[in-house]
Chain A
Amino acid sequence: MSLDYLLTITVFMSVNVILATSLNVLIGFAGQVSLGHAAFFGIGAYTSAILTVKVGVDYWWALVLSIIIGGLIGSLLGLPSLRVREDFLVLATIGMNFVVVSIFNYVPFFGGPYGIISIPRPKFFGHTFGTRAYAMYALIWAVAVVLFVIFLSKRYVRMGFDALRENEDAAESIGVSSPRYKIYAFTIAGALAGLAGNLWAHYMTVIFPDNFSFPVSISIITMVVIGGLGTITGPIIGAVLVTILPELLRFIQDYRMFVYGMIIVFTMLFMPSGIMGFLRGVSNGSTFSRKYIQKIRRIAGS
């Protein structure tokens, strides 16, 4: 296990933390279930790649622009959420993911199925980032994003999101504009995912449409839900687990996806509110854990 391998995993982990945290803003805070988060991720990556490769913009400008464009398109793709709710929204976002990927695939400007190659690594005062510097850089961004979300959850916006999630009609009746907060949520999620896309594209230096296909959305939502919806630490734990798990499971090579799927199923079965929710339940004594604590006491007592 070389250092480079660990550093690469660190970069993936940071990108996943950003993605999971941004999706958590959308699902866990605002209650808008989206299964098309990879589309935003892809839009960020493609924006940055096209700007640097085809237009020849400096990396730092591309970074800023990919965040802004990610946010703009996020708010644009958030428009359906004003019309449809819940399961319909889930399906609309799945649809958006498929449409975005097929646009990447079929429009020659985006490079088609061969993607965009030779995306430059960022330079800082004439010094190109190596793997080690990039890992640090990605990690710093991940921490910054998490801090931003913590900051966000101390603001009035968070209360608006909570109201929206719990009951849309009730939120409207007390003067929380639901379209406004929905668009806020989609914009924030889109911008952060755009950032993640930028980090990913410039690390990999090659991107293909398939990198942003529907299964990626699934793994992002898996991170959030396994970690614990609506918590700050949950998505981070989920992202770290989902990144590391396939690597740890390498020794069972052939059964990897099977085990991975089963882990998701059983996590949901036994810890439906995610790892963080479960831990919180243990400390607060929810019915589930109380049952188990009683069982343990009984066994210990007898």
Chain B
Amino acid sequence: MNAAVLGSSYVLIAIGLTLVYGVLKILHIAHAGIYAFGALFALFLYERGLSFPLSVFLSLLFAGLVGSLVYEGLYKKVLSRGRIVPLVMSIGLFAAMEDLYRLLWGPYKRPIDVYVPLPDLMSSSLYLSSRGLLVILVTVIALISVYVIVSQTKFGKWLRACANDLQLAGAFGINTDRTIFFGFFFGSLLAALGGILVGLYENTVYPTMGSIPSYKAFVVVVLGGFGSIRGAVIAGYLLGIIETFIVYYFGFLLPRDAIAFLAMIVLLMFRPEGLFGKVQR
């Protein structure tokens, strides 16, 4: 069951990235900065005496705002400069963000003391703590709402149009700028949710919690085929399962992260468009 929890956390971050990448085609590394922000800010609010659901809600809102401000203030200005400029900018931003969190909230690992009103699932073969259960439940709810939003609402339609062809979408009267803005808002919100859930599950929150997910989320996005949300979901769970099994059955030959990256490189060599991507030329 560990695998499902791990996979859930990958999926939440990767979907946000997929939304962003699908539209803008930039590697948004600072996304993981937002992931850490979500968890840290929620904890900050919670420690100020707000109730936990309220602080989570506010944190998600703020994370979304931060994400869309990053687009509005930074990426938008350099979009015409090719891909490497936003990439380097994003790297710099991520470094600055991590350090800012450390300055604001200290470098310590802190627990989230909150009671989760769910039962522990226990049987002879599996054990799932109440927090693990919460992670899986919330992820499923989030996935369903993502599906509904992307496939049913007007905003989802715009988003898909922009992902397909940004200029053409603009020519057909879609406000691409606003769509991207909301895409960033929505994607960042999901990342923050992922951060909060991982923080809850592992019961630690710290400023550099985003460093590993930042690159790993890209592995998931690549495995699923860039820009494909369905692919990202399947790849996220698949990666969670594969990693857990390899670590469980073969021990620590290589660390988890190396396994993920190795899988990605091998896949890229044989199927450069990812597991579920379309061939683009």
In contact, A222 and B88 (Cβ under 8 angstroms): yes
B144 in the interface (beta carbon within 8 A)? no
Chain B: how many interface residues by the 8 Å CB criterion? 43
Binding site secondary structure of chain B: helix
A260 in the interface (beta carbon within 8 A)? yes
A33 in the interface (beta carbon within 8 A)? yes
Known: A102-B255, A255-B103, A265-B89. A273 touches B81 (CB 8 A): yes
8 Å CB contact of A99 from B83, B99, B262:
B262
Chain A: how many interface residues by the 8 Å CB criterion? 43
Instruction: Give complex CA distance A274, B28 in Å.
Output: 20
In contact, B96 and A92 (Cβ under 8 angstroms): no
List residues of chain A with CB within 8 A of the CB of B44. Answer: none
In contact, B253 and A222 (Cβ under 8 angstroms): no
Our count of residue pairs bridging A and B at CB distance below 8 angstroms stands at 129
List residues of chain B with CB within 8 A of the CB of A229. Answer: 84
In contact, B85 and A257 (Cβ under 8 angstroms): no
B91 in the interface (beta carbon within 8 A)? yes
A278 in the interface (beta carbon within 8 A)? no
8 Å CB contact of B262 from A84, A95, A264, A269:
A95
B275 in the interface (beta carbon within 8 A)? no
Q: How far is the CB of A170 from chain B (nearest CB, A)?
A: 14
In contact, A268 and B254 (Cβ under 8 angstroms): no
In contact, A265 and B96 (Cβ under 8 angstroms): yes
Known: A98-B215, A269-B77. A261 touches B92 (CB 8 A): yes
A250 in the interface (beta carbon within 8 A)? no
A88 in the interface (beta carbon within 8 A)? yes
Instruction: Give complex CA distance A25, B277 in Å.
Output: 31
Q: Mark A15-38, 1 if CB is under 8 A from B, else 0.
A: 000000000000100000100000
In contact, A264 and B91 (Cβ under 8 angstroms): yes
In contact, B95 and A91 (Cβ under 8 angstroms): no
Q: Mark A89-106, 1 if CB is under 8 A from B, else 0.
A: 011101110110011011
List residues of chain B with CB within 8 A of the CB of A262. Answer: 92, 96
Known: A261-B94, A261-B96. A87 touches B25 (CB 8 A): yes
In contact, B226 and A94 (Cβ under 8 angstroms): no
Would you give 21 A-B contacts (Cβ < 8 Å), ordered by A?
Answer: A33-B84, A80-B265, A80-B269, A83-B269, A83-B272, A86-B83, A88-B226, A90-B87, A91-B218, A94-B218, A95-B264, A106-B255, A221-B88, A257-B99, A258-B96, A260-B92, A260-B95, A261-B94, A264-B89, A264-B92, A268-B89
Further pairs besides A87-B83, A106-B252, A261-B97: 17, Cβ < 8 Å: A80-B265, A80-B269, A83-B269, A87-B27, A88-B222, A91-B222, A91-B264, A92-B265, A99-B265, A103-B254, A218-B95, A255-B99, A258-B100, A261-B94, A261-B99, A263-B92, A264-B91
Tell me the B residues contacting A by CB distance below 8 Å: 21, 25, 27, 74, 77-78, 81, 83-89, 91-100, 103, 215, 218-219, 222, 226, 252-255, 257-258, 261-262, 264-265, 268-269, 272
